[in-house]
């Protein structure tokens, strides 16, 4: 009779001893050891100096360098919740090795991330420079793409301006009815028990409706302040443009009638800009907000959300605002709608290293090219030789921006079936062809088609590695500024993983070469 198959002993109650040194707990090429070696290569003064300047009395805090490495490793493995990071410091050997067997609680982890978000954002450039130093970035071919990432908010928590007005009116009527009912009950109780004998707080139903009314009213005021500020910026830009035209006509010694007409238009535009600015300040004051910043955007600033508004700056009926994360926006992604942000990625071809990132709450991609070019130049020290971009970035202005900067750009002029190259265009180029026709012909040439086809192997896998590989499909933080910091941290850890794998492959190649 054949003996039954035997298995390895399974004795979960058996006491075992861990190795005496934490360095023996993990394999020699584990990511944690790379991070521990990286501490001395990064400039962490922005994290250290503020922590060292605190009052030395009281309980000793955790080393800021350890907390920084802890957050970097957590994002590398797709853990962003401070509670999950705290749990991992107890249950995961890699986290225990990294922290030196220390367990910071979730409130300290969350507070450290909040307090040092700007410094953590700057680590993106630090790690990018390490990738450049290792020879992983050539800027020979960079692909730019935008991906929609879900905000830490539900799209069902958004309300249109029209619904806000209706809800306010309905809630006010219900509150008035409840107040009348409460007054009748108070009078009856006074007759029964005597005046002042019994008192109580407002009924729960009334308090709930009053709280909801205040929340909706505040959201409406903030929405109106945002659209008023956007209208003021537009009026200000129009006034500047009209003033520049009038000044140019005066310098060119144009006919007096033309100068007078342009001057009149400039004065009218200035008056409209002043009225719009005053309305924006008044709307912000009514909402309890700081006065809006109407200064022109910096060259590398991402575009602001353009809420639908009327000519006078008031929101339209369908303009929406989210109660949980007001900065987020309803965006279309994959045939569905999500409450989120438009996250930009510029990726170098050589090793899929991200060279620039940005976040905005403006759904279309077309306005993001110019600021992203500024960020690539600032981060990497130069602009790429070749860039590929999908149809979302097409505009004659964008094609001109690339040409002016000496970039050989390949921008799709229309949507193509996924994974298929553009069909060839036969015959000579028409005389007097416009910019769009020339770009379409460029993409359909044999060389252009081959170059543009590389785009799907450069930037699209990076989106998959972030969203699918690490599960980072949703932001943890709320608000545009905080989300921008978190997106920089996500991109920094992507590059960090690329650098780890590259150095590991270099070490293995060296080991093979030396026998």
CATH number corresponding to 135-154+325-504: 3.30.420.10
Of 199, 178, 144, 195, residue with least CA distance to 372: 144
Q: What is the pLDDT of residues 186-203, one digit of tens each?
A: 666 665 555 554 444 455
Helix, strand and coil content of the chain, in percent to the nearest 5, comes to 55, 10, 35
**Contact status, residue 228 vs residue 279, Cβ threshold 8 Å:** yes
Q: What are phi and psi of 174, to 5 degrees?
A: -65, -40
Angle, to 10 degrees, between the axis of helix 64-76 and the axis of helix 31-38? 140
- Output the pLDDT for position 422: 58
Q: In this structure, are residues 102 and 467 in contact, taking their beta carbons and an 8 Å threshold?
A: no
Q: Between β-strands 141-150 and 158-160, what pairing exists: parallel, antiparallel or unpaired?
A: unpaired
At residue 293, the pLDDT reads 84
Q: Which two tokens stand for residue 43?
A: 């400039």
Distance CA 340, CA 469 (A): 20
- Kindly give the parts of the chain with pLDDT less than 70: 1, 5-19, 183, 185-206, 416-429, 515
User: What residues does each domain of the chain span?
Assistant: 22-115, 135-154+325-504, 156-286
Identify the pLDDT of residue 8: 60
Confidence at residue 199, expressed as pLDDT on a 0 to 100 scale: 46
- Residue 332 CA to residue 334 CA, distance in Å, equals 7
CA 215 to chain centroid, in Å, comes to 26
Residues 6+ apart with CB under 8 A from 122: 46
Cα separation, 210 vs 203, in Å, equals 11
Q: How far apart are CA 443 and CA 15, in angstroms?
A: 66
pLDDT in tens, 396-438: 999 999 999 999 999 998 876 665 655 666 666 677 778 888 8
Identify the pLDDT of residue 197. 46
Task: Return the pLDDT at 224.
Answer: 84
């Amino acid at each position: 009779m054949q003996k039954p198959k035997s298995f390895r002993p399974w004795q979960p109650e058996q006491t075992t001893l861990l190795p005496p040194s934490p360095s023996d707990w993990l394999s020699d090429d584990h990511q944690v050891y790379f991070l521990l070696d990286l501490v001395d290569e990064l400039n962490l003064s922005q994290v250290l100096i503020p922590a060292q300047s605190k009052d030395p009395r009281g309980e000793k805090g955790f080393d800021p360098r350890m907390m920084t490495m802890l957050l970097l490793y957590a994002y590398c493995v797709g853990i962003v919740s401070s509670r999950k990071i705290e749990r991992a410091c107890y249950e995961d050997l890699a986290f225990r090795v990294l922290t030196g067997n220390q367990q910071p609680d979730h409130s300290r982890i969350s507070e450290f991330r909040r307090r040092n978000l700007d410094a953590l954002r700057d680590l993106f450039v630090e790690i990018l420079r390490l990738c450049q130093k290792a020879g992983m970035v050539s800027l020979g071919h960079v692909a730019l793409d935008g991906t929609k990432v879900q905000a830490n908010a539900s799209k069902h928590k958004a309300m249109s301006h029209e619904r806000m007005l209706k809800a306010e009116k309905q809630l006010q009527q219900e509150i008035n009815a409840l107040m009348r009912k409460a007054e009748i009950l108070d009078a009856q109780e006074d007759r029964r028990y005597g005046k002042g004998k019994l008192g109580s707080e407002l009924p729960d139903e009334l308090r709930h409706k009053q709280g909801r009314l205040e929340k909706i009213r505040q959201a409406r005021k903030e929405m109106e302040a945002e659209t008023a500020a956007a209208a003021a910026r537009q009026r200000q830009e129009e006034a500047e443009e009209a003033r520049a035209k009038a000044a140019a006509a005066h310098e060119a010694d144009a006919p007096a009638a033309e100068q007078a007409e342009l001057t009149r238009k400039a004065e009218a535009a200035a008056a409209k800009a002043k009225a719009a600015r005053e309305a924006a300040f008044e709307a912000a004051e009514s909402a309890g907000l700081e006065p809006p910043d109407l200064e022109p955007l910096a060259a590398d600033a991402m575009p602001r959300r353009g809420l639908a508004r009327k000519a006078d700056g008031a929101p339209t009926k369908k303009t929406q605002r989210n109660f949980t994360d007001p900065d987020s926006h309803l965006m279309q992604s994959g045939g569905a709608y999500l409450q989120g942000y438009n996250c930009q990625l510029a990726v170098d071809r050589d090793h899929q290293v991200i060279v620039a990132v940005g976040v905005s709450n403006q759904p279309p991609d077309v306005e993001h090219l110019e600021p992203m070019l500024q960020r690539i130049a600032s981060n990497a020290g130069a602009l790429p030789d070749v860039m590929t971009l999908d149809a979302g970035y097409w505009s004659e202005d964008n094609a001109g921006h690339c040409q002016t900067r000496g970039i050989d750009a390949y921008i799709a002029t229309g949507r193509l079936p996924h994974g298929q190259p553009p069909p060839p265009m036969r015959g000579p180029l028409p005389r007097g062809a416009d910019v769009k026709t020339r770009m379409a012909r460029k993409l359909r040439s044999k060389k252009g088609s081959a170059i543009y086809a590389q785009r799907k192997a450069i930037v699209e896998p990076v989106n998959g590695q972030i969203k699918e590989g690490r599960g980072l499909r949703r932001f943890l933080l709320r608000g545009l500024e905080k989300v921008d910091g978190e997106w920089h941290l996500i991109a920094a850890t992507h590059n960090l993983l690329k650098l780890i794998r590259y150095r590991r492959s270099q070490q293995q190649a060296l080991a093979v070469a030396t026998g």
